[in-house]
Chain A
Amino acid sequence: MTTDTDPPKESFRLSMLIYDTRYRSTTIQVVALMAFMLAAAWLINNTMQNLAALGKPVEFGFFSEPSSYDINQHILEYDSRDSHLRASFIGLLNTLIVAVLGCATATIVGVLVGVLRLSKNWLVAKIMAVYVEMFRNVPVLLWIVLAMAILIESLPRPSAFRGDNPDATLKLFDSVAFTNRGFYIPEPLFSRSLGDIHLFGQSSLRMDVSLDLLAFVLVLGLSIFAARKVTARADAIQNATGERPTTWYINLGIIVLPTLGLLIAMGFHVGNPELTGFNFQGGIHMRNSLIALWLSLSLYTAAFVAEIVRAGILAVSHGQTEAAAALGLRPNRVMNLVVLPQALRVIVPPLISQYLNLTKNSSLAIAVGYMDITGTLGGITMNQTGRELECVLLLMLVYLTISLVISSIMNWYNNRVKLVER
């Protein structure tokens, strides 16, 4: 016996594209795609017509022309005869510098404020609440401009440091000068330097990497690796016997002695800034713009980080702390082994998105004249060459790349902590 379960054969009608749910989604998608492509074609067509009318075809040749402007804060050697591409590269490095400095400071200040805001001390908690509300509710651009104004208007001129009885003196054992042209801080010098290696020849990405720094990082890394081995061995002994050998002095020795030895071997000393003529020589010159940007970005972001940290700690239920205490753990072990691992899972994703925000906000550098990628590629290069389309699109691409890199790190972390979840 056979039953015919096939529905009666239906002929395809055009109206089924809309009324039949089997085809409707395809219809909508095709319409959406066509609309999008039409809109894109319209925009591109308009742009091409407008650019042709202006006699500016899209091309990137201007990048190899000399930039003929100066960048006052540069970590790699650069002068105005270098190409626009080199200028943009220096700008990108400046963006990354202020982003890294800002993220580090914002984390330290933010964690401190967040923890103190949960303090049982009423006064301290209130002061931190005032800090958070004050910074969160005022635009970051205002903080940046204000910080710049304070630095310029209230600090002494370099000439105030001159003479037998100067108006201003160097701070911190004569090593740091706060002037209205920026901060002069000591620089590390090596009398038996290993020299530099030159990478990337004469291209726009060329850079001199100090071998001293490389050696220092290498030795430090190896020492830390060795110290972790020692700790791992101590853990193994503890697991086997219950007794934990004291390791902190071995670790300290392993980390400190080789690096100290290396520094002595390379003849490490500190070069203090010195007043010669009208300005300071020697030392590292951090411009006002960098300081203002760094300070205000990190204090502003720290207010948000503080709230994230507070929320993260509050998210760990009190029962967890009590259970840990019932197991006989000491308070700092409760924090390290029970509260922090759970709180971090809540804290880290929004924290990284704050890092992302800080990096994007660093583009406000253009308001105080710090030459980051927005100031170079999106600022002077764009104005000098008149290539708005190319410059703005490239600028967006650069920031998009940075953002995607940071958010892929965040996704990687999220996936990693997810495995721990049950």
Chain B
Amino acid sequence: MSDTHAETVSYVRETMLPEQEPPVTETGVIGWMRENLFSGWLNTILTLLSIGFVYYVLSGLLPWVFQSVWNAESLDECRQIMKATWGETHGHACWAVIKDRWLQLLYGFYPPYPFAPDATVDAPPPEAMLPAYFRPNLTFVLLFIALAPVLFDRAPRKLLIVTAIYPFLMPWLMWGGSLWFPLGIAAGFVILYLVISMGQVRLGSLLAVIAGVIAALLWWSVIMGYVTAGLDQVVPISLPSVESRQFGGFMLALLLGVVAIGLSLPIGVLLALGRQSDLFIVKSLCVGFIELIRGVPLITLLFVASVLLNYFMPPGTNFDIIMRVMIMVTVFASAYIAEVVRGGLAALPKGQYEGADSLGLDYWQAQRLIIMPQALKISIPGIVSTFIGVFKDTTLVSIIGLLDPIGLSQGIRANQEWNGIYWELFAFIALLFFIFCFSMSRYSMWLERKLQTGHN
């Protein structure tokens, strides 16, 4: 067969042909579309349906967003302008409500110039040196400066000083009052640190910690009041106070979110360690606490904050609603963080614990140097999604009457001028939350990729 073949064929190519370009239909835009959009009849139908859907949504959404009214005093006026311009009131946004109320949605009833309580943004006091809402804005900017060295390891390390000061500076900037009070609180932590580091040698670590805690508690509960009052008499440095009921808007959501997130991580780690510990009583207390908190909705805990927490305190104490809400949101968040961290601890191979033991590290050294860095790394996605959840859940405070954006939106909608408006308001609020939550989730994905040391 091959013989005859060889005789009949007059020409046999001896060299390879150069590689041909792939056909036009397989490369470039067309190839991509054929592969990703029109690879079969089912896919083609899906694509056509999707294109129709996207067109339908955009054809309604884009004119609504961009052919809109920005300057009006009320919804009625908005509608009149729409009628005059486009001949219909349907399908056009009335962003005038945002223009009218955006300051309120951002800051609630926080006074723009706290030293002149009656001044407004439109009528600033004559001697106004600082721009309106200087204090919350400064607090917000400082937040990012304080967070930078924690979030990004390329940020200058010196910024960690800001991070250390921020927890004490933030309440003073927001609530005002005497500077000596936050300094006194900070001094308590300094005392704690000093007693522990000095007592470490003489007393041993456990006794030193107990002594430090007792000393700090003594300072806070007994001594601090006299010292700060005295200092206040001698050198009065203070900011005009702002009452908690004036807090509101997106500022309140951020405040609650930041406090709950910042405090819940250390508490959650401790709870997780307690739950993993061999000490039966400590373990049962932690398990009971975590399961109790995780088993009930946040709204019941907020009810506790709004109606019960004052009952739990000694008769006569009456501390402020935002503080109470902060406590309960923190408690709520730390139970969830504890479970996430516990997952990270459980995922570590047993060899890591044994390795730490064989190096002769004690419990806290092992946790700090070997276990926690790895466990926390594993649990980053869970921790961040808990944070996002907590931040979103701060909106629940509107149910117990705090004026977060949703609480304010109810007031605006009940208002005579803007009665009947809803899309514009909720779109604005949703956008604010979306920006923060989406950036948090992107950050966690970035961090996960950066800390990835395995090879898969």
Contacts and interface: CB of A to CB of B under 8 A. Distances in A.
Q: Do A and B bind each other?
A: yes
Interface of A: 18-19, 24-25, 28-30, 32-33, 36, 43, 46-47, 49-51, 53, 119-124, 127, 133-134, 136-142, 145-146, 149-150, 153, 360-361, 363-364, 366-367, 374, 378, 382, 388-389, 392, 395-396, 399-400, 403-404
Interface string B178-193: 0000000000000000
B312 interface: yes
B281 A33 contact: yes
Contacts of B377: none
A237 B433 CA distance: 60
Contacts of A403: 294-296
A28 B285 CA distance: 13
A18 B296 contact: no
Give the 7 A-B CB pairs with smallest separation, nearest first. Answer: A403-B295, A149-B422, A137-B437, A360-B297, A122-B36, A139-B392, A388-B307
- Majority SS at the chain B contact face: helix
B393 interface: yes
Interface string B59-86: 0000000000000000000000000000
11 contacts: A24-B206, A47-B311, A121-B37, A122-B37, A123-B51, A124-B46, A134-B434, A146-B422, A388-B308, A392-B307, A399-B295
Given A32-B285, A139-B395, A120 B438 contact: no
Contacts of A51: 311
B395 A50 contact: no
Contacts of B426: 142, 145-146, 149
Interface stretch (B17-25, B165-173, B298-306, B346-354): B298-306
Nearest to B436: A137
Nearest to A123: B50
Interface string B4-34: 0000000000000000000000000000000
B396 interface: yes
A399 B303 CA distance: 14
- Majority SS at the chain A contact face: helix
B53 A127 contact: yes
A124 B296 contact: no
B53 A142 contact: no
Nearest to B303: A392
B281 A32 contact: yes
A394 B297 CA distance: 13
A200 to B, nearest CB: 27
Contact of B398 (A127, A141, A389, A399): A141
A136 B392 CA distance: 10
A26 to B, nearest CB: 9
B261 interface: no
B115 interface: no
Contact of B300 (A28, A29, A124, A378): A378
Given A29-B279, A51-B311, A120 B39 contact: yes
B282 A29 contact: yes
B43 interface: yes
Contact of A137 (B292, B395, B433): B433
B430 interface: yes
Contacts of B410: 145
Interface string B337-370: 0000000000000000000000000000000000
A49 B315 CA distance: 7
B285 A36 contact: yes
Contact of B433 (A36, A142, A360): A142
Contact of A400 (B295, B304, B434): B295
Contacts of B296: 360, 395-396, 399-400, 403
B314 interface: yes
A28 B433 contact: no
Contacts of B437: 136-138
B315 A392 contact: no
B310 interface: yes
B310 A50 contact: yes
B155 interface: no
